[in-house]
Each structure stands twice: as C-alpha cells, then as structure tokens.
Chain A
Amino acid sequence: MTPELAAIVGSFPDAELDSSGLDPLVRVPRDSYRALVAALAGAGCRLSDVTAVDHMASIEVVVQLLASASEQFSVHCMVHEDDPRIDTLVPVFPSAEYAEREVFDLFGVDFLGHPDPSRVLLPDHFLGHPLRKEFGLEVAPW
C-alpha cells in the first residue's frame, strides 16, 4: 500500500491497517465505512469487487480495491447478523450497484441508499439468503 493511501487510512482513527496477510487489508467499523472508501476513491483507487463472507454471528462485507493496475488491497467491514445494514457504495463507485444487489440477494445485507435494492440472481419470491452458513444444501424453503 502506498504511503499516501496508508495516510488516508491513518486519518480514520477507527480504521485498522493489517499488512500481515498476502494483500494489505483495512478493517473499518460500519460508521466510517463509506467515508473511508470515498476517501480512497478520491485518491484514485478503483473498485474491483464487492462481496461478503458469513461468520455466523456477523457478516463481513469485503470491498476489493485497486490502488494501481497491479496493486490490490481490501476493505472489510463487519455487520451484525441481527442488524445487517451498511451504507451503499453506489454514489462512490457506480459499478458497485449489481455487486451489492448480489450481496443482498445471497447474504441478506441491506445497503442503505441503494438505488435498486432487489434480488439479482434468485427470483423475487425466493425465501432466505443461500450464502448464509445456516442455509444448508438440504434446505428448500418453499
């Protein structure tokens, strides 16, 4: 991660930069999530992907960002299973729209302020969010 981007992360007191993994990783609480990503976007970062990982009690929203064509890092934000809401990134990165719809569809995370908060891969009448760990393969909720 470039010093410039590390300084942006450092300007958010609740964001934590972890360089122990294969790629740099920034953990940020929900309150500063969009402000941090917007600041990184302002410094020229490009969006590669928005996805999520279910950790049973909480869901981790993962944003893959590109500092340059070859340099990548990610921003992680935990949301609690009982209150799975997070700000949308669409105003910052318009290309996040469908990826966030997919995270809503498969994980049940609500993106606040999303222009089209609807399912994208599964039909509208589908019950449940299949990439949640409690959604087993044997369960057909209809």
Chain B
Amino acid sequence: MVTFNRADACAGTETVLLNIGPQHPSTHGVTHILVELSGETVVAAKPILGYLHRGIEKLAEYRTWQQDLVYTDRLDYVSQIGNEWAYCRAVERLTAIEVPERAEWIRTLFCELNRITSHIMWYAGVTMDIGTMGTPFIYAFKARERIYDFFEAVTGARMMYNYFRFGGVRCDVAPGLLEDIHDYLGGEFLELMDDLDALLLGNEIVQSRMKGIGAFTTAQLVEWGITGPFLRASGLAQDLRKDAPYGAYDKVEFAVPTSTVSDSFARCEVRMAEMREAASICRQVIERMPEGDISVKVPRLLKPEAGEVYVRTESPRGELGIYLVSDGGPKPYRFRVRSPIFYNISALPKMLPGWKLQDALVIFGGIDTSMGEIDR
C-alpha cells in the first residue's frame, strides 16, 4: 500500500532509473545504458551489452583461417580495413609471411581512408547527439560517399570490403584512381573539412555544450583502460602507428594530434585533426608508393604451426588487439578480439556519475562506439 509521505515528496530524494536505449536514436546502434538519475544528475550508469552478439569468436573456430577474414569486416563495421589489417598482421606474424612493399603501402592508404570514413561516422553521431538534427551529418556524408566510391572502385564493395589477403591485398589499384584520390584529398576534401570544422568546432552552441564537459585526467583514463583519440585528447600521444610502426607508417610524415584540455571539445578537436592527418598520410603514400608485387603466394589451406600470437594495431577507436592460438590445424584454436571500445565503454560507470543527463550523452558521444565490435 502506498502512503503519502510529505517528507519524501518535498525533499525529492528519490532517484529515477532511465533506460537509454537499446533503440534510442542517440545511441549509435543497439547500445543500452541504464542510468540512475537524481533530478537531472547521473548518480550511477551501467552499459548493458550484447544485443549485437553474433558469437564471431566462436564461429571463427569453425572456419578456416582464410574464411575468418570475412568476419573481421563485420566486427567494427565502420572501420573494416583496420580490422582486416589487424587479423592479417596477426596471421602473418604467426606464419612468418613477408608482405611485399607495395602491398604495405596500399594497406596504409586504405586504412587511412577508412580512418576518415570512420571518424565521419563519429562526427555524424556526435553532432546528432547534441541535437543538430542532421545538417553537419549530411555535410560530412558528402566526403564519406566520395571515399566509399573509391573503395567500391577497388574492392567492389561499399562496406564489407574483404580486400586484404594474407601476404598482401586482393587486387592492385588502378593508376588513374590513385590520382583521383590524391586530387580529392588535396582539394575538395580539405574545403569540406573547413566546413565541417566550422559547423562543429566553430559553433557556439557546440562549444557551450562540450567545453569543460567530461574532463578526466590522463591517469584516470589510463587506469580505466581508455585508448585512442579519447586518451590522446588528454595529452598522452599514445599511438601504435608511432610507438610500434607497421605498414608504411614509419616512412611517412605525420603528427599525432593531442590536446591538453581533456574535455569533450578537445576530443572533437583531436578527431578533426586526425582526419586531416589521415588525408595527408594518404597523399604521401600515393606520391611515394613503390612499384612491385601486391601479394605473395600463400597455401590455399593455411596450417600455421602450433603457437600463439598477439598483435595490436591503432584502430580509429584505439588499441585493437588480435590474439590467435593455433594448434597446427586448418582452423584457429582461439580467435580473440581485444576491442578498444569494449574497454572504453566499460569505463562509463566511472565517467558518467556527477554529470547531467544531457552532458552524459555528450561524453558518451566522445567514445565513438561501434556496437559490432563491442558485442562481436
């Protein structure tokens, strides 16, 4: 029986549980965050994961090493090339396959193009989160469409590329296309980036919504296992492309954008700068790409010697690790994906309390989730 208690009614000490998601439009997929609110202030938060769990790590144990390559596209489905590369590098390290020079440069080119399209998805998501109703999002998608056209010309697909192979890439890039990419990234793209910068960073409403919101120290972020642009916006220039270079990253000039402010706005600045850096890397790669083979011959049924390997790469969202165990058979004994966003989103219970609900969504947007990789 409910009795009216005047003290409770007036003091307002009751908290409210609010489900954000699993299908809330601002959650970038089927994210579900359970937040406990006192008034408008978050007192507790818990991400509830698994809505997109397809058991990829289990399925991979039932397919051959080559067949598993297809699954990697479907992990983080906005940074497909990055996943393919991580898996290829792991298998190549396990089986000591040497990748030809030109293939490494082609991989670097497409990984960086993919970083741009992935950050565009973040841009779309984070601007929608703060209520822009789509204008910056549609502007950003102009660039995404153009870059997807380039991907389509090379791989035949707009999203699930399946372009990398162990020991190289599936097919070479037409010379004319390389010039097109170079021209686009050096001209039209940079003009669009100026617009995108103005719409996001130059926007007074965005600044008032984001500056000072979600300010965490580097020590906190390291303790919570945060990697990627979120961590770099706190001033720590941790980037595996510099720290443990792979591909052609040690042969091109690029900066690792950082900020010392470590708030939601700084995370935007870092990602916008990363897109410009990625375009610069792509242009250098095209200018200096060597001629030569694009792949080496690899047995159709690959049977790596028994052993294990762990390889980490810098995905657009942070440190993407692939851990493989081989028992000498034609299928992986264990296929593990260390998802950067799984770790990043697991810090939400520590990040959100104390912030207002609308600020919590801004902080969440700074994580740049991709549920396909969190739930696997």
Contact = CB atoms under 8 A, between A and B. Distances in A.
Interface of A: 21-23, 46-49, 51, 53-54, 62, 64, 69-70, 72, 74, 93-99, 102, 106, 119-123, 130-131, 135, 137
B376 to A, nearest CB: 7
B309 interface: yes
A137 B62 contact: yes
Contact of A94 (B62, B93, B223, B323): B223
Nearest to A131: B58
B354 interface: no
Interface string B294-327: 0000000000000111101000000101010100
Contacts of A70: 240, 243-244
Contacts of A48: 310, 312, 319, 321, 338
A81 B248 CA distance: 44
B159 to A, nearest CB: 23
Interface of B: 49-50, 53, 55, 57-59, 62, 93-94, 222-225, 238, 240, 243-244, 307-310, 312, 319, 321, 323, 325, 333-334, 336, 338, 342-343, 346-347, 350, 375-376
A41 to B, nearest CB: 11
A23 B310 CA distance: 8
Given A98-B342, A130-B55, A46 B222 contact: yes
A120 B312 CA distance: 23
Given A64-B310, A70-B243, A53 B50 contact: no
B167 to A, nearest CB: 18
Contacts of A121: 49-50, 53, 375-376
A102 B94 CA distance: 25
A93 B226 CA distance: 12
Given A69-B240, A95-B346, 11 more contacts: A22-B307, A48-B310, A51-B323, A51-B336, A64-B338, A70-B244, A95-B224, A99-B342, A99-B343, A99-B346, A131-B58
A58 B223 CA distance: 31
Contacts of A47: 225
Nearest to B325: A53
Contacts of A120: 49-50
5 contacts: A48-B310, A53-B334, A69-B244, A95-B224, A99-B343
Given A48-B312, A64-B321, A93-B225, A137 B58 contact: yes
A15 to B, nearest CB: 18
Contacts of B333: 53
Q: Report which residue of A46, A95, A119, A135 has the largest number of chain B beta carbons within 10 angstroms of its beta carbon.
A: A95
